[in-house]
Structures are given as C-alpha cells and as structure tokens.
Structure 1
Amino acid sequence: MNYIKNIEHEAALFLKDEVSVQAGQIVSKTLTQNHHISITLFAFSKGEEISSHDSSGDAMVLVLEGTGQFTVDGSEYVLSAGETLIMPAKKPHAVFAKEAFKMMLTVVFPPVS
C-alpha cells in the first residue's frame, strides 16, 4: 500500500513538473491526506486566489516556481521559488498569485483525541 499517491515512487523528479498552470484556474494534486497530514501541490494562474480561511493544523508552504503572495493574520509575505512560510493553525490566511506560480502545501493536524 502506498501512503503517498498520484506521484511516481522510486524516481528522482522535480515537484514543480508534477502540476501544470492552467489559465484562469487553480490546479491541485493531492499527494496524501489523512487525520495527521495533508500534502498537496498547487499551480495558480496569475490573478487567482484562495480567500481568507483558517485551518486546525499548521500549514507550511514551499514555493516551487514563480512568486506568490500570502497573507497571514493581516501580515503580507511575498515568496519566490525555494522560500517557505509557516501559517500557524487557527490564524486566518489567504493566497494570491501575483504571477503564475506553483507551491507545495503541507498541513500537520493536531492529534485526534
């Protein structure tokens, strides 16, 4: 059984090549999702956004290509390829594509009691 799906196993690859930008869309590819963790690749077309929301877990973004704008609890961050940002649990955050960009989102959820 594979816990990570939708991506080739035992192969060297570039994550940025695993998801494609499509005009006027946000494209996502879930690699894993359960009660503990979620890992998803995203490709944003220029001008696309995910409006403000929060999460029960800590969210970590890694920009894979291009530049994205992230707003966390009112503070704005502009990240380029190779940069990472932690968006703490329960703090409102949003994403805006200043230009087409790709990112990997990892969310680590609190233990289920």
Structure 2
Amino acid sequence: MENIEVEKSKVFIIVEIIEYVPNAVVIKTIIKKTTGNVTAVSFDSGEILTEKISPFDTFIQIIEGRAEILIEDHSQTLETGQSIIIPAHSKNAIKANERFKMISTIIKSGYE
C-alpha cells in the first residue's frame, strides 16, 4: 500500500484520516519533506514501536486514547491532548496498553 501525503488545501479532521487495524500499527503520511515529516499513527492495543534511537527530535501528540512513551527507560503515560518531545539521540519506544492515535513530527533541520 502506497503511503502518500494528505491532499493539500483540503480541510480534514486528523483523527478521522487514520483507522485502527486489529493487531497493527498504521502510519499515514501528512507531510513528507527532506527537512522532516508529519505522520498520523494508530496503534491497536498491545502493539509496540520497538526501541530505537533517532538522530532528530520527535514531537509526539496524542490525539485519541492513551499511550506509554519510554525515553531512556523512563516511562510516561500521555492522554488525549498531551504532547512530549523525544530528544534526539535518546533511546525510546512507544507502547499501546490500549489503542490510541498520535501525531509524530520530526524536524531534521538544525542538525547540520
């Protein structure tokens, strides 16, 4: 399945452009540029984005439900409307103890 950007100049409701899929993490590209990207992500209950380290800061905003965010082995629970910035070069993972949706924004500029 091709992951293309959301149509520009068209109004949309962010929580409605991505659906839950049983036993899956679904990623929908909002904007993708060489300097960064914005994605909408849905997690079914029990799903995990495994531990990784990104060379860039990542802004996470929960738009539906509740998520567990682990940064350098420190766990925080975020609920609808809450946000966090995962610092560049930090070990991190995202867990769905219940299903949720989020927006992820990665800004690649400023690290040259």
TM-score, with normalisation over the residues of structure 1? 0.88
Write the distance in 2 (CA, Å) between the matches of 1:37 and 1:27. Answer: 19
Q: How many residues align?
A: 109
Map of 2:31 onto structure 1: 32
CA RMSD of aligned residues (A): 1.5
Shift of 1:36: 1.1
User: What letter is aligned with 1:97?
Assistant: A
After TM superposition, list the pairs within 5 Å mapping 1:69-88 onto structure 2. 69-88=68-87
Q: Between the two proteins, what is the percent identity of the paired residues?
A: 22
SS state of the match for residue 66, structure 1?
strand
Do 1:25 and 1:44's aligned partners in 2 also have CA atoms closer than 8 Å?
yes
Distance in 2 between residues matched to 1:10 and 1:110, nearest whole Å: 24
Q: Structure 2: 5+ residue runs without aligned partners?
A: none
Q: Which runs of 5+ in 1 are unaligned?
A: none
Amino acid at match of 2:5: N
Question: Are residues 1:49 and 2:48 paired?
Answer: yes
Cα 1:36–1:22 shift into 2, 3 Å: same
In structure 2, the partner of 1:92 is: 91
Matched residue of 2:88: which SS?
coil
The 3 A distance-change label for structure 1 pair 42 and 6 is same
